[in-house]
Amino acid sequence: MDIQSQVKILVQQVVEAYLKDKVLENEKKPIAILLGYQSPNPTYVLEAITPLLNIYEVKLIVSKEWANSSSTFSNRPFVLLEEINQQELTAIIEESSVLVIPAASYQLLSKLALTMDDELAVWVAIQYQLLGKPVVIANNGVEPNVYQQIHAPHTVQERIQSYIRQIQTDQVKWVPLNKLTQTVEHQFTAYEEKQSLILAKHVEKAFHTGLKELVVPLKSKITPSAKDLAKELKIVITKSDA
């Protein structure tokens, strides 16, 4: 066996060992991947999400067009965006920690920036935001390229950039496809270390909603005023890792 073949085998073994470690590390960390928008380069998109499919427990939500155009999903369980109802989607949202959208569109960008949930894909993204869960979107095909920057009217470019700035302010990660896996890993770490702050206004909202118990994340910090108000309103604040 020549040196080149030996090196190739060693590299393959290292990659397999790395993926095996990642699978064990993330076996209880489900993510959701939403393929609801088309891409001018679907092969590139599928190559970018392959590491995520191998590393994480992935909940796949795909459009019929994606499902029919690729064999990638033939051996993997998935749900069709056009056929799933909001109750089933809600269960996926609650079970997964990160939402990944590897193929975006101007429609998604503008509606997410304006919090317009008049289509199911945007509704899903907004639900993750409302639960404080990370959303990672690949900007390929949407971020203006150099020729578009040269020729497109300044007003159009500025409007697109304003939408991008807005979703980034809303803590959506807007990244190139080649940084998808790395960004998801970072977002997992940040989400796990996140400490929710429980304020008096949250206790007051719970009271007006009719709740007798407020269940908050295990790592939450409860302000003294929130504790005092909860005692006064007879609301029990319970910490849970569920």
pLDDT at 173: 97
Domain ranges of the chain: 3-193, 197-240
Exposure string (b/e) for 172-209, b if CB count within 10 Å is 16 or more? bbbbebeebbebbbebbeeeeeeeeebebebbeebbee
* CATH architecture group of domain 3-193: 3-Layer(aba) Sandwich (3.40)
How far separated are the first and last CA of the chain, in Å rounded?
53
| Low-confidence stretches of the chain (pLDDT beneath 50) | 23-24, 26
> What separation in angstroms does the CA of 156 have from each of 141, 144, 146, 159, 187?
15, 10, 14, 5, 31
Residue 35's φ and ψ, nearest 5 degrees, are: -110, 85
Q: Could you tell me if 151 and 115 are in contact, meaning their C-beta atoms sit under 8 angstroms apart?
A: no
- Condensed to tens digits (0 to 9), the pLDDT of residues 141-185 reads 999 989 999 999 999 999 999 999 999 999 999 999 999 999 999
pLDDT at 72: 74
pLDDT at 26: 46
| pTM (predicted TM-score) | 0.79
